A and B are shown apart, each in its own frame.
Chain A
């Protein structure tokens, strides 16, 4: 067993883990953060994407022991004071999901992309989410949602009254 000390969604945890434990299973099974899902066994789908020390990673391709001393943000840590993150809101408003399985990873990668490029064009959005597979939507509304979120996140744009109340799952 190895000790891991990690901050997840703003809360610090110290745990003993087997070195072989993948980060995604640590998040889901140890911390109960089942918002991050396992979609494939090949690191292709991106459904398990989380932010590790500020950059998006596929949590099925990282060992829990590797994040010792680090900081992880999952889809469950994006909302602030009961308000959904602008990307979460945009996914709701633009109907950027059907079955919803890819959504946690898609949103986490979109947040990463917008951190790098606050105003991406369509091609840049598509390239930015190339590591995330969606088998329902055909991506059209996902791309729209990311661009809509980019507009909403521009400095000076007032946060609108949320259409979605806190606690309602998109």
Chain B
């Protein structure tokens, strides 16, 4: 199908973009990579008056070292994020999850900021941003403000972004620097205590077919000290109207030994505070079952 008509603006700077957004009024929409928005326009599920394309602002594609954080421009495309050296070294969870977003062609166009601002609860990156306690940099007519990941996701496809504001950067604490794909030396072994100190992470996604959305996905970042879990952050995709933190699991993990038994027991709490949807892919009770199983896997892989 053909989208409904709209005006198109391609500003060359963030300031110009903010101005254009204010001038265009409430029916305007920001165009990032367009990999969700353009299909939505084509199906005429949305008909904005004006599209403000951020594609002409090179500074928004930058990935930079920001001290104890890695700061990623909102328009950095997925395929650049997942291959970036800084991201792979310091924010391995983001690189791992980004590599599972949709497919190659979509990752060439789709952007980190676009995906997060779109706030699809089934998206891959919201749960990751929560688990890594990312900070969202928002620019509006009054200047910049920052919002924590916990406060960014408000409701179904709804974020803390005001109508006249643009997500310009996302900052991730340097955490989870270890390669995530490590597995126990002996399959089934629960004794992994000798090997863990520091942050580890893992993204565990369950979907039926290549390029389909997650039925459920779990993003885990875990810090261990001498075989004991010292801190844990667990983000969930598609278990409610927004990406969610599994705080019950996090609490239950802290102070526990790094054993499969302890991790699986903690994972039982993953459904607390969730409202898993039922749809053509899965019923809510099946999603809850998946969430428990995948949380166990993700945390064990993160510490392993």
Which residues of A are interface residues toward B (Cβ below 8 A)?
2, 18-20, 22, 25, 41-44, 46, 49, 52, 55-58, 60-63, 65-66, 68, 109, 112-113, 127-128, 130-132
Contact = CB atoms under 8 A, between A and B. Distances in A.
Contacts of A52: 108
Given A19-B6, A19-B51, A20-B5, A62 B106 contact: no
Contact of A62 (B4, B7, B38, B51): B38
A55 B5 CA distance: 28
Given A41-B42, A62-B109, A65-B53, 18 more contacts: A2-B8, A19-B51, A20-B4, A41-B43, A52-B108, A56-B108, A57-B105, A61-B35, A63-B8, A63-B38, A65-B10, A66-B31, A66-B53, A66-B55, A109-B104, A113-B104, A128-B104, A131-B105
Interface in B1-48: 1-8, 10, 31, 34-35, 38-39, 41-43
| Contact residues of A: prevailing secondary structure | mixed
Contact of A56 (B31, B51, B105): B105
Contacts of B39: 41-43, 61
A65 B4 CA distance: 15
Contact of B8 (A43, A44, A46, A65): A65
A57 B109 contact: yes
B6 A131 contact: no
Contact of B109 (A18, A41, A44, A61): A61
A57 B105 CA distance: 4
A62 B2 contact: no
Contacts of A132: 103
A44 B5 CA distance: 24
Contacts of A63: 8, 31, 34, 38, 51
Nearest to B77: A55
